[in-house]
Structure 1
Amino acid sequence: MERIERTESGEPGRGPADPARAPGGAEGSSGTAASAPVRPAPLASFAYTAADEEKRRGVRRMKTTATGLLLLVALVYVLATWAKNVGVGGWPGFVAAAAEAGMVGALADWFAVTALFKRPLGLPIPHTAIIPTKKDQLGASLGSFVGENFLSGDVVRGRIHALGIGGRLGAWLAEPEHADRVTAELATALRGALTVLRDSDVQAVVGEAITRRANAVEVAPGLGKMLETIVADGGHRRVVDLLCVRAHDWLILHGDSVMDAVQGGAPGWTPRFVDKRVGERVYKELLRFVTEMRDMPEHPARYAIDTFLTDFAADLRSDSDTRARVERLKSEILGRREVQDVIASAWSSVRTMIITAAEDEQSELRLRARASLMSLGARLATDGRLQAKLEGWLEDAAVYVVTTYRTEITSLISDTVASWDADQTSKKIEAHIGRDLQFIRINGTVVGALAGLLIYSVSRAFGA
């Protein structure tokens, strides 16, 4: 059995690499090598497997058979020629002619088959060892053939259209077990994607996106319109009611504090009893005002608040100075670290919520995804327009890929073939097709013999 050398990666090799070509070799560390352009590493050669070796043993058996047949016709030729020379008449001439032509056919086909993989008898005959010497050209031709005949836009579009992907996909998705499978796979992919993403990176992106979006949009006109709608609908009155109630309750509980504050602000030269009387008077008037405002829906102060809010809403929408102040306030609020932390922390909550929903088979997220998939499948299975639209998208996408990246796709074939070792390539191809090629030798022997017999018979029939 032929010994097969393998590299450390388990693939066939021709022996140790040249140290001068190795990245860490002496020449690789010199100044000249360091300044040379760096070429991409060659692609790994294909593995020469035990199945290939078994096929090679079959090829060798067929070689033995074909060679044995050649030796047999040679022996027949010798015996027939001898019989003819010793005076045996009739059949020796026919047999010798057939055997002679059979040898010629066998030798010609042996030369043709051998010339594909090696030089016959080691002689430097032109146009022999075709596969080892023309491997790269064959790879380039194969790549060009595939690009021209398989990666053309019309071929790809026609093939995808013939598949009827829309209807078949719809019928498949409409089955509950298939929808469950797709939902589970999507949930797994979603969990994997969220697990791989680093929280810090996503939080930074989310925070930047929200801040950039908020800074890009002027909020004052929107706030003005919203405030105008609230005032028109009377929605602010409940807030005013609440403030009046809370203010009244607070004054009842903190009356002494209010009077002390008023007395503390009086001039130093006024008598203390006057300050006390003034404080009590101010407190009573303030309490009366708040009480009336709480109990009277038509209180003038409430009307003043309505007017103020209406004017303020109009200023938010049309007054440039007010709008500028609101924008500055917005920027100051967004720039605070506490606000940025709140924005960033929102991702953690969303991520936890999504992962939990993806893991729970009965979660609303998965149930809705499953229902949506089944609904989409039912529509695809019956809606011809939707099928045509989906198939059109797929066709356009596939055509774009093959027309835009045809060179890169075909170069994968040519570059891969170019990276293969010539001897190993020849051996592997011979292992796969060599047995059939040996039948060519056998057929050449038989057909040559029959042709020789026919030619000899016709010649004898016409008296040649």
Structure 2
Amino acid sequence: MQVNTEPTSLTGAAGLPGGVQPNGPAGRRPAASSDADKAAALRRMKLLALSLLIVMAVIFVVAFALQKYYPWLEYVRAAAEGGMVGALADWFAVTALFKYPMGIKIPHTAIIPRRKDQIGASLGDFVETNFLSEQVVQEKLASADIARKAGAWLSSPGGPDRVAKEGAAVIRGAFKVLNDDDVQAVIEAMVRKHLLTPPWGPPVGRLAERVFDDGHHHALVDLLVDRAVDWVRDNQETVNRLVTDRSPTWVPSFVDGLVGDKVYVEILKFTRAVQSDPQHQVRLSIDKYLKELAQDLQHDPVMIARAEGIKAQVLGDPEVRELASRTWDTIKTALLTAVDDPHSELTIKFKAAVHDFGTRLVVDPELAGKVNAWIGDAAAYLVKTYRSDIAGVITDTVARWDAEETSQKIELQVGKDLQFIRINGTVVGALAGLAIFTVATLLFG
């Protein structure tokens, strides 16, 4: 650090009046007000240290010139001499950290500019080892009891409203960012992958087999039989007309009427018998047919192929695209409508769920412990996985600075305290010089 008699100059970090404006890769940047305050304080401390050195020099000159007339001034000269030596030595030590003293490239000086990258790497390693450790992070999070604090906020009067408001903003923002065509393409791809690509026959057959084995289809059979009985009962004329239409033309009409009535009565008796008898042969035949159909859907290649053909007819390309479009439009419209209405059922239930969860975090120690453990484990995993990358930010940032900028930044932060070294060196040097001269005079004078 070069001795300078100009009070407005600032060696190293404060080379410009009013603050530090380092020349980095991106050019000059205006100093923040805090940096300007630090630069001003650093200038004052440098001026004070320099003033002490000048005072010691003046005292030394006066004492040296007058000591032959006033012998006691030898002690003053010795103290001033020691003070100058101490001040210059500590000035050299402090300056050697940030630059070459007086521009002379003395070995082991300008330590920070020359070893900038090593300092950045060491600082990154220090942070990674001592701060970004799993144990440190988990202990800090455990002492913070984040779950209970979050629960207290979530259960407060404004907590659920704030969460719902921010959640609505996120949903609206997401819908603005998402492209409808892209989302529909994703839905269509998922439908094809999970619905169309797998064969339908075997899974449908397995599902049907469980349904038929448990007898859940009997309610549907009962419904169909009941509707059949109702239809036959209410459509005697239709039955008679069918008989007449299929009767030979030479048969008299009254015979057609008798036959039609007889057929109607028999059909009605038959359907009512099926309706009233759970073990009727028709019902048993239906059960047998359905179970065989379930087996064929699983194992018969012909039936499986027919099921695939039905699937292709029902869900062809146009139908799939339309399904994806309708699905996305429905989801999007429903969510936007719900989040825009503070009184919608979705918003009300969401707020209630948030409030309930927050209350449980406060009153349920077991749940709060689990949440805290999850947070700690997640943070520990992130630290364990990415701590080198996080610490690497420090190393990379320092590496991008040029040597002068790094020296300026560091001196701006610690330079004021380092000037106390110069001041202390001046005082201690003066005391040491006085003590040494006094002892030497007493012993050898």
TM-score, L = length of structure 1: 0.78
How far does the alpha carbon of each residue in 1:3-58 deviate from its partner, in whole angstroms, 9 at most, with x for none? 69xxxxxx95468xxxxxxxxxxxxxxxxxxxxxxxxxxxx689451433453243
Equivalence for 1:161:
142
Q: Structure 1 CA distance, aligned partners of 2:221 and 2:50?
A: 106
Is residue 248–residue 291 contact of structure 1 (8 Å, CA) maintained in 2?
no
SS in 2 for 1:462: helix
What is the one-letter code of the residue matched to 2:174? A
Counterpart position of 2:268: 292
Match of 1:454 among 435, 439, 443: 435
- CA shift, 1:427, in A, is 1.8
Q: What is the total number of aligned residue pairs between the two structures?
A: 419
User: Aligned partners of 1:193, 1:282: CA distance in 2, in Å?
Assistant: 75
Change in CA separation of 1:275 and 1:357 when aligned onto 2, cut-off 3 Å: farther
- Alignment-derived partner of residue 369 in structure 1: 350
Q: Deviations over 1:344-373 (max 9, x none)?
A: 112211221122112221222122222222
Query: Partners of 1:300 and 1:378 in 2: how far apart?
Result: 57
* Superposed CA offset, 1:44-101 (max 9, x none): 689451433453243233322221221111010010011113x2222x0110011000
Correspondence 1:430 to 2:411: yes
Corresponding letter in the other structure for 1:315:
E
Query: Structure 1's 3 and 445: CA in aligned 2 closer, same or farther, altered over 3 A?
Result: closer
CA distance in 1, matches of 2:289, 2:155: 57
Q: Please name the residue that 2:227 is paired with.
A: 242
Structure 1 unaligned regions, length at least 5: 5-10, 16-43, 264-271
Partner deviation per Cα, 1:211-231 (whole Å, 9 max, x = no partner): 433326611221344356567
Change (3 A) 1:104 1:224: same
Equivalent AA in structure 2 for residue 288 of structure 1: Y
Look up the match of 1:68: 51
Distance in 1 of aligned mates of 2:168 and 2:270? 56
Determine if contact 2:236/2:264 at 8 Å carries over to the other structure: no
Residues 205, 293 of structure 2: 8 Å contact kept = yes
| Native 8 Å contact 1:55 1:432 kept in 2 | yes
User: Are the aligned partners of 1:293 and 1:299 in contact in 2 as well (CA < 8 Å)?
Assistant: no
Q: Is 2:67 the counterpart of 1:89?
A: no
The correspondence of residues 1-400 of structure 1 with structure 2, limited to 5 A, is 13=23, 47-51=29-33, 52-85=35-68, 87-90=69-72, 92-214=73-195, 215=198, 218-226=203-211, 233-242=218-227, 273=249, 284=260, 288=264, 292=268, 296=272, 298=274, 306-319=283-296, 320-321=299-300, 324-325=304-305, 327-329=307-309, 331-333=311-313, 335-344=315-324, 345-400=326-381
Q: Please list the CA deviations of residues 163-184 of structure 1 after superposition, one character each: whole Å capped at 9, or x if unmatched.
A: 1222222222221311221222
Choose 192-201 or 334-343, whichever is displaced more.
334-343
Deviation at 1:454, TM superposition (A): 2.1
| TM-score, with structure 2 as normaliser | 0.81
CA RMSD of aligned residues (A): 3.7
1:388, CA displacement in angstroms? Answer: 2.0
* Cα gap change, 1:200 to 1:241, in 2 (>3 Å): farther
Worse overlay, 135-144 or 222-231:
222-231
Aligned twin of 2:11: none
Question: Which amino acid counterpart does residue 71 of structure 1 have in structure 2?
Answer: I
- Taking the aligned partners of 2:217 and 2:372, their CA distance within structure 1 comes to 52
Residue matched to 1:34 = none
Q: Secondary structure at the match of 2:115?
A: helix
Deviations 1:138-170 (A, max 9, x none): 000000111111112221222221212222222
